[in-house]
Amino acid sequence: MLVRLQTLVVEKPWGRTDIPRDFGDFGGRRIGEIWFAHPDGDDAPILVKFLFTSERLSIQVHPDDAAAQAAGFARGKDECWLVLDSDPGAELGVGLVAETSREALRDAALDGSIVDMIDWRPAREGDFVYNRAGTIHAIGAGLTVVEVQQNVDCTYRLYDYGRPRELHLDAGLAVAAPGPRPDSRDGRVEPDDNRLLVDGPHFRLLHLAGPDAAAMLPQTDGAYSFVPLSPGCRVDDEAVALGECVVIDRADGIALAPNARALLCWPC
C-alpha cells in the first residue's frame, strides 16, 4: 500500500522565494515550510517537513512527553534536522554555550541577549542534528532543511527578534535545559551514506543512497514514511518525486537509482 500525503505549503515572513522548482511553482511567494499531512492526523506519531529560511527563526524549546501530556498534548517533541543546502555563513543554534540559571535565561530572553548565549554552529550541506526535548534551539538564515519530528503542535518561543508573536517564557523555561546539549547522533551525512541516523526512543530514521540501500531496508510490516531527497526514487515500481512524502506498509519495495537518496522513518 502506498499513500501519497497531502502537501501543505506555509508562507512565512522568514521564508524564501527561490526554493527548488521540484517543490512547485509558488509565483514568488515567500515559502517557509512544506508539511506532509498524514491521514491519521494528530494520531500520527511522526511529522516530516521541509524548511526554507531567509532569516533566523525564533529561539524556542519543546517539552518532553511527560511535560507535554501534563499540558494536554498527546506527546512531546524530539526532532532532528538534515541540512540539504546552505548559504555561506549559515548557522544552526543548538543548546547554550555555557550553563546558566533559569532566572538569567529569563532576563536574557526579555532583553534579547539570549541570542549571544546560543551555541551557534556553522551549518553545511550534510550536517545532521538531533534536538532532544528541552534543547533550546534555533534555525538560522540561508538554509534548506528536512525535519523529522514527533507529531505535535507544541512550541514554546523564548525570543523572536521583535516579531509580533506570542512568547511562552513560563512554559518554555520550565522545560528548558539551560546549558549545552551535545548529542551523540549529531554529525555529517554524506550523499552516498546508507546508515541509521536515529534509533529511538521515539522514531527510527534511515538515510538511504543508491541501489545499495536495499540491504538496509526493514523487512517487516510497519508504518513507514518515505521522503525522496533527489529524483530517482521508486516504491514498488512507482515513482516518488522530490517534494513528495508517501506512507507505505512495507519498505522492501523501495528502489533507488544510482546517486539517488531518500529518508525512511517509522515510529518505535
Q: Which residues are catalytic?
A: 157
Distance CA 123, CA 142 (A): 10
Q: Which residues have a Cβ under 8 Å from the Cβ of 118 and sit 6 or more positions away?
A: 59, 93, 94, 95, 96, 97, 136, 137, 138
Cell of 229: 531527497
Integer Cα distance of 114 and 98 in angstroms: 12
| Pair 5, 43: CB distance under 8 Å | no
